[in-house]
Amino acid sequence: MPVKVHGQINGFIMLRQKPHQASPDSTAIQFVISTAFALATTIRSAQLSLSLDSPSQREIQLEQSVRQHNKGIKEMLQNLEKAQNYQVEVEKMEALGKLVAGVAHEVNTPLGVAMTSVSIVEEQIKKLETAYRNQQLDESVFIEFLDSSIPAVDMTNTNLERAALLVQQFKQTSDNEGHGEAEVVAFKPLCEELITSIAPLYQPTTSSL
């Protein structure tokens, strides 16, 4: 007996007769027909249930896929943000390194001039001491000492003040970093201060500024 659902055969029910049994009567045949109908109804119900559940299952799978995709995008954005923050920190460190190198160069100039001036004073003191020990200390030797030592001392003070000012300006620049405020700079005094700080380097020569 075929089991049909919407005209499509989904299976068979076999009615087998044992040799010693009589031929099936109408009741047995009707039982088989009813059983086939019940099976067909059950199969159809199962198919309807699956057809109703399939869209829901697809929706669930789609929702899960979207969630997983969104999670991946979120993680990617977080990683990108971390990479950007790291790049910003690297650029800050590079800028700071260049700034420190520049400040060190600027500070080394007045410090170098100050050391040169101190060396001049030391040399004049040795000459004065030698003249004294040799009993050659007179007015001309003393005047020569003053003429050489006083400017050298002034140069030392000027350049040490310049170095201290540069350090202070560096600290102020660090404190004001990111403010972006305009500042008025007196250019002429700045140039005069720069010339004064390097003037001792040109004293032994005929150069002038």
Residue-wise pLDDT tens digits, 113-130? 889 889 988 998 998 889
Amino acid 100: pLDDT: 74
Q: Which of 45-54, 65-74, 176-185 has maximum average pLDDT?
A: 65-74
Whether pTM exceeds 0.85: no
> Given this model, what pLDDT does residue 206 score?
56
Q: Answer yes or no: is pLDDT of 177 > 70.
A: no
Q: Cα separations (Å) of 69 from 8, 78, 194, 209?
A: 42, 14, 63, 71
pLDDT score of 63: 78
Higher-confidence position of 169 and 11? 169
Q: What is the DSSP letter of 23?
A: P
Q: Which stretch of DSSP H or E encloses residue 11?
A: strand 8-12
Q: Which residues pair with 2 in a beta bridge?
A: 12
Q: What is the pLDDT of residues 7-38, one digit of tens each?
A: 666 565 565 655 555 565 666 666 666 666 66
- With a cut of 80, say whether residue 132 has pLDDT above it: yes
| Domain ranges for the chain | 2-15+27-53
Name the burial class of residue 161, with classes exposed (0-12), middle (13-18) and buried (19+) by CB atoms within 10 angstroms of its CB. middle
* CB distance 38 to 16 below 8 Å: no
- Residue range 51-106, pLDDT digits in tens: 555 556 667 777 777 787 778 778 878 888 888 888 888 888 887 777 777 777 77
E-strand spans in 48-197?
A: none
31, 39 in Cβ contact below 8 A? no
Nearest alpha carbon to residue 167 among 106, 208, 81, 85: 106
